[in-house]
Structure 1
Amino acid sequence: MATRVRSYSKINLGLAIGPARADGFHALTTLYQTLDLHDVVTVTARQAASTRLTLTSNHPRVPLDGRNTAWKIVEKCLERLGVAAEVEVLIEKSLPIQGGMGAGSANAAAALIALERELGVALPGTERLELAAAVGSDVPLFLLGGAVLGLGRGEQVVPLPDMPPTACLVVVPNVGVSTPQAFRDWDTLAAGDGLTPSVEHDRLMKLSLAYASLYAEPGTSGIVRNLSPEKKQGDSDDVQGGVRNDLAENTLLSLVRTGVENDFEKVVFPAYPSLRETKRLLMGTDSEAPALYAALSGSGSALFGLYRSDAEARIAQQRVQSAVTQAGVRTLLTETLPRAAYWERMFAG
């Protein structure tokens, strides 16, 4: 029997870059949020006298050897378990490659989850997170799902209270952004702006506190803004104007008030002006369907906007599609995926 797992994507609601560390990585503070957009990872495994790993994919750009994070995590998991096995991994791609949505890291987490189910044995929780961090900075967040605070180089993860599902429009441009080059450009910019390591560190700490505090607000205040007269807190109806969307809007507006942004925009947008214009279209400030928030995800090149309703997200999609003339640009309607739904929908059968 094979195990099929949905490999969900993420966006960065905010990302602050700190100083370069001795190991070559940069300190980060980021707010991850999983999305319903996903690949599918299928794993077949059985214990054997020796380990043999085969990886296939429907996408020609997916590496099928030790360069792949899914390959790496399967190998390392078997080593830690002390198990030899014949393992086949199939990655069915729908998500953009190198788009800033964590697709490769999500594939690795999905492969680990499926492998453990196939073998009927699992690593302890802390060891799973350590293994995930050793494979990639974004991998641990996909062992949590929902809203996640990322520290360190992004691999130190803290689950945050979830906001309700929120309509989201993702735009995948036809350009690629080099993450290493984006970090180098940031270092040049930071040096020119006089951002010392201590100043950058203080900035990261303040931002992490702001993230944690704003995510507690909707659940602790007991106040929900803008409820329609016929709606009361606790009503189950999820239509626009109900509790779900008001809580989401409250959280997002609180997020915006923290001054949250993605530092990568400061170096990526000057290099790729079309991405700045795409963000402007997503925001739609003077339109009938403005975004609650829009930003670059990771180092890009994918961008996203969050909206009050599915209908407004569709209007924003039409706005972007009518204005963007470059070939190969994709617009994807989806929604944010809270932690409970993330795990309920994980296994694809």
Structure 2
Amino acid sequence: MESRQSGRSVTVRAPGKINVFFRVGALQHDGYHSVASLYQAVSLYEEVTATHAEGRSVRFSGPIDTSALATDDSNLAMRAAALLMQETGYSGGVALSIVKRVPIAGGMGGGSADAAATLLACDELWGTGLGRTGLLPLAARLGADVPFALEGGTAVGTGRGDELSHALAKGTFHWVLALPDGGLSTPTVYSALDRHRDEHPAELAPPPEPVKVDTAVLQAVRIGDPESLANAMHNDLQAAAVKLAPNLLEVMELGEQRGALAGIVSGSGPTVAFLAQDNRSAAELQRVLTRSGVRSLTATGPVPGARVIES
């Protein structure tokens, strides 16, 4: 472990993600659901700078409103730093500065990206030497999406979403991310799905066990065909998210009427990810959404996971 160097810092960026496929199993006795997801990391990045300090602290900046984010030990990035200290016996501290670009409470894993970037930045800064492989078990303890933010690319997530296997992906997919006002709580969306399944058993087939990602969506990313992927995308949480936030349906209809190959609520929402044919189509759709009063961003995927960009 290297000696502490006052003022030295390490900057890591980690991507947000889209769930291009998301299947949810039945509620388990431990309160969790088994899931099967196809994640794709996209070019919308969180940036974490870790600097030697006496204690632990975190501050936020960036183009989105971060005023409601916790800056105490409940913050996921702070928890990541504390976990690494606990596991390695490091006795110093760190000041974290996070530039946020991934929507908050938008179903795109921004907090998980912060945690993954913090693990990698602190491991480099402190010389704790775990490396990406050694950090993955810690990432899984922090949350289901954190290992994927560390790895990036395109991957199948099973179990709670944290058991990853790499998925072959060819080419580049072009996305337009619509950001409706307000956030959705992930536990609330899952609870709404459970209630809907309980109240309408005749309409909904029992969730399959074990859940798995459909072959069609894996084949679509393997051959790099956006039209095939558009036909194969699915999210079990989408109906629950739309029920909680009915405006999502209007946004999805607008995007699909104005050129998107398909739209899907990403994860627990409320971000809606529209798949476009190419870069030009994505840019035009973003203009349409903006003129209609819907905040939106363009992104491409897949991209790599957390990476040191300055040390």
Please state which band the TM-score falls in when normalised by the shorter chain.
Answer: 0.7 to 0.9
Aligned to 1:230: none
Supply the AA of the counterpart residue of 1:56. Answer: R
Aligned to 1:221: none
Q: CA 1:184 to 1:5, structure 2 compared with 1: closer, same or farther past 3 Å? A: same
Q: CA 1:322 to 1:191, structure 2 compared with 1: closer, same or farther past 3 Å? A: same
Give the Cα–Cα distance (whole angstroms) in 1 for the partners of residues 22 and 170 of structure 2.
19
Structure 1: any 5+ residue segments left out of the alignment? 219-247
Query: Match for 1:71 among 63, 66, 78?
Result: 78
Q: Contact 1:45–1:115 at 8 Å: present in 2 too?
A: no
Query: Match for 1:270 among 228, 232, 243?
Result: 243
Give the Cα–Cα distance (whole angstroms) in 2 for the partners of residues 162 and 210 of structure 1.
13
Q: CA 1:210 to 1:123, structure 2 compared with 1: closer, same or farther past 3 Å? A: farther
Q: Which has the higher strand share?
A: 2
Q: Contact 1:177–1:301 at 8 Å: present in 2 too?
A: yes
CA deviation digits over 1:249-296, x for unaligned, max 9?
x2x3333444x3111111121232210111122223xx4xx2233211
CA deviation digits over 1:121-154, x for unaligned, max 9?
3226554222111111110101110111111111
Aligned to 1:114: 121
User: Residue 36 in 1 paired to residue 43 in 2?
Assistant: yes
Query: Match for 2:174 among 162, 167, 172?
Result: 167
Q: Report runs of 4+ in structure 1 exceeding 6 Å deviation.
A: none
Q: Contact 2:15–2:303 at 8 Å: present in 1 too?
A: no
Query: Match for 2:227 among 253, 260, 276?
Result: 253
Q: Contact 2:120–2:132 at 8 Å: present in 1 too?
A: no
Deviation at 1:165, TM superposition (A): 2.3
What SS does the corresponding residue of 1:10 show, helix, strand or coil? strand
TM-score (norm 2): 0.88
Equivalence map 1:323-342=2 (5 Å): 323-324=292-293, 329-339=294-304, 342=305
Say how many residue pairs are matched. Answer: 300
Aligned to 1:149: 156
User: Residue 54 in 1 paired to residue 57 in 2?
Assistant: yes
Aligned to 2:275: 306
Q: CA 1:255 to 1:334, structure 2 compared with 1: closer, same or farther past 3 Å? A: closer
Q: CA 1:348 to 1:309, structure 2 compared with 1: closer, same or farther past 3 Å? A: farther
CA deviation digits over 1:62-97, x for unaligned, max 9?
211111111111111111112111211111222221
**Greater Rg by CA:** 1
Aligned to 1:8: 15
Supply the AA of the counterpart residue of 1:335. Answer: T
What SS does the corresponding residue of 1:316 show, helix, strand or coil? helix
Equivalence map 1:182-201=2 (5 Å): 182-194=189-201, 199-201=206-208
Give the Cα–Cα distance (whole angstroms) in 2 for the partners of residues 159 and 293 of structure 1.
24
Q: Contact 1:31–1:148 at 8 Å: present in 2 too?
A: yes
Q: CA 1:203 to 1:295, structure 2 compared with 1: closer, same or farther past 3 Å? A: farther
Q: CA 1:126 to 1:22, structure 2 compared with 1: closer, same or farther past 3 Å? A: farther
Give the Cα–Cα distance (whole angstroms) in 2 for the partners of residues 71 and 137 of structure 1.
17
What SS does the corresponding residue of 2:164 show, helix, strand or coil? strand
Identity %: 28
What is the root-mean-square deviation of aligned Cα atoms in Å? 2.5
Aligned to 1:241: none
Equivalence map 1:280-295=2 (5 Å): 280-284=253-257, 287=258, 290-295=259-264
Give the Cα–Cα distance (whole angstroms) in 1 for the partners of residues 101 and 238 of structure 2.
25
Give the Cα–Cα distance (whole angstroms) in 2 for the partners of residues 124 and 332 of structure 1.
32
Q: Contact 1:162–1:338 at 8 Å: present in 2 too?
A: no
TM-score (norm 1): 0.79
CA deviation digits over 1:19-63, x for unaligned, max 9?
1112211111111111111121100137xxxx7212222332221
Give the Cα–Cα distance (whole angstroms) in 1 for the partners of residues 252 and 129 of structure 2.
42
Q: Contact 2:230–2:275 at 8 Å: present in 1 too?
A: no
Give the Cα–Cα distance (whole angstroms) in 2 for the partners of residues 121 and 40 of structure 1.
21
What SS does the corresponding residue of 2:211 show, helix, strand or coil? helix
Supply the AA of the counterpart residue of 1:164. Answer: G
What SS does the corresponding residue of 1:201 show, helix, strand or coil? coil
Equivalence map 1:157-236=2 (5 Å): 157-194=164-201, 199-202=206-209, 204-205=211-212, 207=213, 209-216=215-222, 218=223
